[in-house]
Every structure is written in C-alpha cells, then in structure tokens.
Structure 1
Amino acid sequence: MIHQLSKKETFSLYVIEESATVKSIANHLPQHADFILAGSQNNPNIALEEILRKNRFPDAVILNVEMCAGHQTNLPELLTNHTSLIITSRSAEDAVQAFNYKAVDFLINPTDLTHLDRTLDKVRCCKYPVAFKDPARHFYIQSEAKGKMIRLHHDDIFHVEACQNYVTIHLEKSKYMTYLTMKELEEKFSNTSFLRIHKSYFVNESKIHSVDGDYVILENNLFLKIGANYKDSMLATLHPNFFISKRGGLRMAK
C-alpha cells in the first residue's frame, strides 16, 4: 500500500520486508522527523508496480533480498540506479549482493534499530554530502580526579573494554577508566569507526589488522574474541570495504 507523502518531509522510504519488520521500522521512524514511510509490501513484484505508478522513485528502499529470490525478481537491479538501496537478509553472505548492487548499506535481519539509525544517516549523506560530515572525532571523559575532564581522540583509541560498572579505554601506551556503560557508549559511538564485536568490547575499525575466525587482531597484536551475537553484524559493517571478485563460486567467510 502506498501512503500519501507529506510535503514537509524530505525523505520518502519504501520497505519491502516481512510484516513484523515493517511494523518495527514504522514504529521507529517517528524518531527521524525527516523520513516518512511512503509504502510497504511483502511481495517484491507488487512493490515494483506500486513504485512505478508514482511520479518519482522513493528516496530510499529497504529491500529483503531473500524475498526477491523467492519471487524470482530482478528488483534490486531495477532500483539500484534510482534510489538509495538498503539490502537486508538473515545471512551475512548476502552482503556480497549488497556490494554488487551498490547499496548504501546492508542490514542483518532481524533489523537492529541502532544500525537502522546509522543507515538513515547514510541516506541523508548521499543527498546532502556537505551538510552531513563525519561527527566530532573526539570526546571527553571524566577522570578519577574530581572536576577533571580528559579529551580523547578517536584515532588514538584501540579498543574499549567493559569492566563491571565502568569501562576501560585502551590507547597504544595508556588506558583510562571512566564510569560509563557499554549501552551508553553504543549510543555515543553510533556512526563512528567503533564496532561492537562482543558484549565486553568495542574496537576501532581503523586499528584492525585482520579478522581471523572468531578473533579480531588489532595493530598492537592484541587478539579480541568476537561474540557470536555480534559476528554477523560486524562482518556486514566491514564488507563494503572488502575487495572481492565478482566471479561466481566465491562466498563470504563466516
């Protein structure tokens, strides 16, 4: 069903997903006042008919590629040059398709709303690249000394580790403890170079040397375990920067 667009809204979003996912996104979207749900469908073929009946393509389309496979449709190829395409799937291996379709992002289902926020920022950036620059590359923490704040630059941080009711921020030759939770940091680190790889770890992507099986290896030779609940999301985030041949038969390592 196509919903009437409001002239006050800047970005129109169409969702081709399972009904539960559509409901979750629709309930979350009011937090983004510049986005409106232009329509939704769980049948890609009907969705294409609805989109083509409009005078213009939606600004962004969230598309479940597993649904496309089930309906044998080439919808991703038809949309890729006309909208900001966001590919979703339950399998991290489908990130390869997102890369080939030039999607602005790839989301693992069930959709993490924090990651959806990051994706909508990417859509904004595609339309207004000057207005949406990278956020501040530094932040302040309260030190153990009362009334003292310490300025930390993103590029100096290797990883952050949860320690009971506080966190330890590890730099190359020093570390700082501060009274923060991982949940608070997850909000602060949204749309930055920091990745949640474990319930107890954030890592700075710029400090990753390699990913080997269930471990992230940092440039300081520190091995950090990847949590099972975070692996697919981490790989999906890394994948747009992963060079891979378009030849058949190659699959993404898990």
Structure 2
Amino acid sequence: MISCYIVDDEKHAIQVLAKYIEQTPGLLLMGTSENPLEALQIFREKGYADITFVDIDMPQLSGIDLSELLHDKTSIVFATAYDKYAVQAFEKNAIDYILKPISYERFLKCINKQNSRIVKSPQEEEDNSRGHFYIQYEMKGKIVKLAYEDVVQIQALKNYVIIHAHNGKYITYLTMKEMEESLPPAIFMRVHKSFIVNLTKVVAIDGNLIQLKDKMELTLGVSYKEAFFNRLNEKMIKTKRLPG
C-alpha cells in the first residue's frame, strides 16, 4: 500500500487528487492540508507519506521551500498550473511535475513511475513479484492492477497497447513510449518498435526470433538487436577454456 498526502491551498485541486487516490487500488490517502505549515506539523507528529503531492504557488510557504524542509523523507510530486518552476522542481529531486488540470491518465503515469522507483537494488530489481502498475482497461473506467511477474510482453496497436499477461490480454489507451518510460528497465526492454518484453520471460533466442513463456514469439528489431544482446551478455555464463 502506497500512502499519499496532498498539500495545496486550493480546495478543488485537493478534491481532484483525493478522488484519484481513493479510486486507485493500492493507494491510501493519509490526509490533506491547505496550509503547508500545518502539513509540516502533521508530518512531524504522525509521520511522512510515501508520496506527497505539493502545489508550488502557496501564500504561507512555497512548495519548493516545503520540499527542502521535507528532505528525503517522502517522494515529492509537484502539482501546479505553471510550467516555469519545472527546472527548480527537478533540482529538488521531485519524482514528477504535473500540470493542472490533472487527468486521471497522467496521475496513473505518476504512480507507475513511483512504483518503478521502489525497486532499487539489483536483487530487488530481479524480484519482480514485488512490483506492479495500474492501467485503465479498455476505457470503460475499470482500473486493473498488474504485477510485473504476470506480464509477458507489451504490443503496440495504433493508439493503444495490448498487454499480454499470463491471465489474459489487456488493451489500454497508452503509447509504447509511455509504457517504456513508466516500467523498470531492469525488467522490461524495448526489442522492436512494436514490442516490449519482460526479460524474465525470455525462454530462448533463435536468430531474430525471441521465444517467450506461454508459447509467445516475436521478432527482434534490427535497431534494438545490439542493446538486447548486450543485456543478455550480462547474464551469459561463458567458458574460459580455449577451443580445440
């Protein structure tokens, strides 16, 4: 469960984010504050959330200044109507910078980015059962939680992508670039302009044909071939014996 807190001097902005958090599985809204000084006091008394959504332009204390006081105790997501603070925001190591009005699709992308950050060490990166992400399924308002370990491959389909999982297929209104940027690169890799694979699901490579679990197969793109085999070589067991 990922805990969230919202600091914004606009009630409507708080209501929008609170609604998104409450309707997303795996998220917990710890609280909200219209006053950043009040939020600081609450954090000191009750602890910090995993993610804190912070407005920037607030009268008592700016979101930039608030983020400095929070240090590394919480992951900061700046939610603002202005793009002029973006450079400052990322200098403060914010995990994301979202422009208002915030769509639910953009919100989910932010949460998926945080999920990928949770996997840190090499051992944790390979333990893909610990990771997951969310999608809106077939634009029907249904939200689906998918574990990394359940996803075999992701396929482009015009303005959509098809996520091939062990338990079925999921179509969602996302681009391949958005999927690639949101998923942990230690587990998922682009191998073709139309395919992203879960590297833990690769069973064999026969020329330019990648064989995956569940009897799936796909073609390795020419421009992705070198990077793909470089990744394989990192795990390749090689003999030190001389031939002959």
The normalised TM-score by structure 2 is 0.51
Greater percentage in helix: 2
Alignment of 1:170-209 (within 5 A): 185-186=173-174, 190-193=178-181
- Structure with higher RCO (Cα < 8 A, 6+ apart): 1
> Structure 1 residues 191 and 64, CA, compared in 2 at 3 Å: closer, same or farther?
farther
Aligned mate of 1:116, from 107, 112, 119? 107
One-letter amino acid of the structure 2 residue matched with residue 49 of structure 1? Q
Counterpart of 2:94 in 1: which secondary structure?
coil
Aligned-pair Cα RMSD in Å: 3.3
Q: Distance in 2 between matches of 1:188 and 1:59?
A: 27
Q: Distance in 2 between matches of 1:109 and 1:184?
A: 23
Counterpart of 2:38 in 1: which secondary structure?
helix
Superposition deviation, residue 138 in structure 1: 4.2
Q: Distance in 2 between matches of 1:191 and 1:19?
A: 32
Superposition deviation, residue 101 in structure 1: 0.8
> Contact conserved, 1:80 with 1:102, CA < 8 A, in 2?
no
One-letter amino acid of the structure 1 residue matched with residue 103 of structure 2? D
> Contact conserved, 2:80 with 2:98, CA < 8 A, in 1?
yes
> Structure 1 residues 116 and 31, CA, compared in 2 at 3 Å: closer, same or farther?
same
Q: Distance in 1 between matches of 2:99 and 2:119?
A: 26
Q: Distance in 1 between matches of 2:115 and 2:76?
A: 13
Superposition deviation, residue 97 in structure 1: 1.7
Q: Distance in 1 between matches of 2:30 and 2:56?
A: 20
Counterpart of 1:12 in 2: which secondary structure?
strand
> Structure 1 residues 71 and 140, CA, compared in 2 at 3 Å: closer, same or farther?
closer
> Aligned residue for 1:220?
none
> Contact conserved, 1:80 with 1:103, CA < 8 A, in 2?
no
> Contact conserved, 1:88 with 1:108, CA < 8 A, in 2?
yes
Q: Percent identity?
A: 21
1:36 partnered with 2:28:
yes
> Aligned residue for 2:56?
65
Would you identify which runs of 4 or more consecutive aligned residues in structure 1 move more than 3 Å? Answer: 131-138, 183-194
Q: List gaps (5 residues or longer) in structure 2.
A: 133-147, 160-170, 183-192, 194-244
The normalised TM-score by structure 1 is 0.50
Superposition deviation, residue 185 in structure 1: 3.3
> Contact conserved, 2:156 with 2:176, CA < 8 A, in 1?
no
Superposition deviation, residue 66 in structure 1: 1.0
Aligned mate of 2:116, from 125, 134, 139? 125
Superposition deviation, residue 104 in structure 1: 0.5
Q: Distance in 2 between matches of 1:105 and 1:63?
A: 11
1:139 partnered with 2:155:
yes
> Structure 1 residues 136 and 38, CA, compared in 2 at 3 Å: closer, same or farther?
same
Number of residue equivalences: 147
Aligned mate of 2:83, from 92, 111, 117? 92
Alignment of 1:229-240 (within 5 A): none
One-letter amino acid of the structure 2 residue matched with residue 24 of structure 1? V
Q: Distance in 2 between matches of 1:57 and 1:78?
A: 12
Counterpart of 1:192 in 2: which secondary structure?
helix
